Structure 1
């Protein structure tokens, strides 16, 4: 029986290489590109991936089918059904990566945490780090696998919607941190999506996700702690927002690595907030 246990939300390429053959380990490719990139993440996964990695499509397939905004979190039953088709069970130990280093993989880490699954980690440095370490690459038709049995146990403290955030926006107990580029936060650069206002939420602070990374890897925990201590109090609940709920999860993972415990992601993020006139916006 496997005794594999994930003890950190971040693992190295060497750790993954050492444990890649463990029967309970599932590797997920969570690569996602911005809509105007012209790139096809699933096609690139078919061409180059970590051996036995399964493609996790949080943009279309494992997303709320009726949501008005991009890749919104699905209902627990939908999530469980889809991850079972990927061969994931409640006993699975999951490592998520993306092809850009650290970009979209933390979104899937966060989704599993929302659904009550703690045995999940992100590969630090992603596919580039795996290749730099001269580890094997697979291409062609993926390996087949049996369906799993996954029980989703929804954890509401990990996620918040727009109305819930509006109610708490002026509370000293919370701090909203925005992962978008500073130019978008301050409204000097227009939003890429039509109909979305420029600016930021009242009382929010800017923390562009790139400030938490170096060369596609997370900064050391002590440096991450300094970043968060500079923009929030240690006992505040941190609520993370970005453009559409992807890079906010980079901040969420960084906060956990830094030792923060009260972590929440605003799923709709600026795509929802900026497009909804009842939500206040400042420059």
Structure 2
């Protein structure tokens, strides 16, 4: 019997408990921590994970190897090769979580969408929610999965580079939303990466990702809609940016949950923009 396709980009712990043993469900731990953290996401996955979860390393392994900026989206062939090693096929129903509730998992949701795989969802509340509900955890080295068969179909509407964004900055049809903390957006707090200027893009608006979450869960869709309606028009193309392209994906997922459809992530985000002196800042 085939597994019903994932119909929402967000699933609950109770949904995952019900479907965890389904043959086409693949659970991914996409935990990642900011530079300077003493936490090791790979080791934490070995120590505590949802049963059968596989570790998705978008920072080093499933990233463009020659990029100048952190964890840039890899070529489709690279992405396909790596997810096949995780046992993922085009028929797989992928559920992604992270150990902070909702933080880095949406990055992997966006990567799959950009590679043409729509059967992917984020676990609302992440690993903390799984534990709070009293569900079993797994530890130790996992059994290697049987290789999958994945054909990546790149979807360019989900991704934009710096030069293309520069050309669209003052276009009424486009609104850039910045997921960084307001202090970083307004330049009153120094950027954490060396050589990156402070401030924001001309015409961008601040929407810190924390305003879309509560206690590690996404706000209800009607509240998310109000957040986006306050900073953009319904018919605009929304382009999301952050420090290095991770929390921008929280905005992208929240926008989809709110009913928005024209969604794009600036992959290089402020690390690229702030360190590239031809790009203007405010």
TM-score normalised over the length of structure 1? 0.99
* Count of residue pairs brought into register by the alignment: 282
Equivalents in 2 of 1:160, 1:142: separation in Å?
A: 36
Which residue number in structure 1 is paired with residue 94 of structure 2? 94
| Structure 2 equivalent of residue 169 of structure 1 | 169
Q: 2:18 — aligned with what?
A: 18
Contact kept, 8 Å, 1:4 with 1:22, in 2: the verdict is: no
Which residue number corresponds to residue 55 of structure 1? 55
In 1: Cα distance, 2:146 partner to 2:126 partner: 26
Match of 1:132 in 2: 132
Cα offset, 1:136, TM superposition: 0.8
1:203-218 correspondence to structure 2 within 5 Å: 203-218=203-218
- Show the counterpart of 2:122: 122
1:76-95 matched pairs, under 5 angstroms: 76-95=76-95
Q: Please name the residue that 1:239 is paired with.
A: 239
TM-aligned CA deviation for residue 262 of structure 1? 0.2
Output the CA distance in 2 between the equivalents of 1:124 and 1:180.
21
1:229 equivalent in alignment to 2:229: yes
Partners of 2:3 and 2:24 within 8 A in 1: no
Residue 249 in structure 1 maps to residue 249 in structure 2:
yes
Superposed displacement of residue 4, structure 1? 2.3
Structure 2 residue runs of 5 or longer lacking an equivalent are none
Partner Cα distance (1:225, 1:143) in 2: 42
* TM-score, structure 2 as length reference: 0.99
Which consecutive unaligned segments of at least 5 residues does structure 1 have? Answer: none
Equivalent residue, structure 2, for 1:69 = 69
Cα offset for 1:141? 1.2
- Secondary structure at the aligned position of 2:177 is classed as strand
Q: Distance in 2 between matches of 1:96 and 1:142?
A: 17
Question: Structure 1 residues 141-150 or 169-178, which shifts more?
Answer: 141-150
Report the Cα distance in structure 1 between the residues aligned to 2:279 and 2:66, rounded to whole angstroms. 22
d(CA) in 2 for partners of 1:3, 1:17:
14
Deviation at 1:3, TM superposition (A): 2.9
Aligned pairs for 1:258-277 (under 5 A) are 258-277=258-277
Q: Write the deviation string for residues 147-173 of structure 1: whole angstroms up to 9, x where unpaired.
A: 000000000000000000001011000
CA contact (8 A) 2:3 2:23 kept: no
Question: What per-residue deviation string (whole Å, max 9, x for no partner) do you get for residues 163-199 of structure 1?
Answer: 0000101100000000000000000000000100000
Partner Cα distance (2:3, 2:233) in 1:
38
Q: Is the 8 A contact 1:4 1:24 kept in 2?
A: no
CA distance in 2, matches of 1:85, 1:130: 25
- Please tell me the root mean square deviation across aligned C-alpha atoms, in Å: 0.5
Structure 1 Cα separation of the partners of residues 156 and 5 of structure 2:
25
Match of 2:110 in 1: 110
By how many angstroms is 1:144 displaced? 2.2
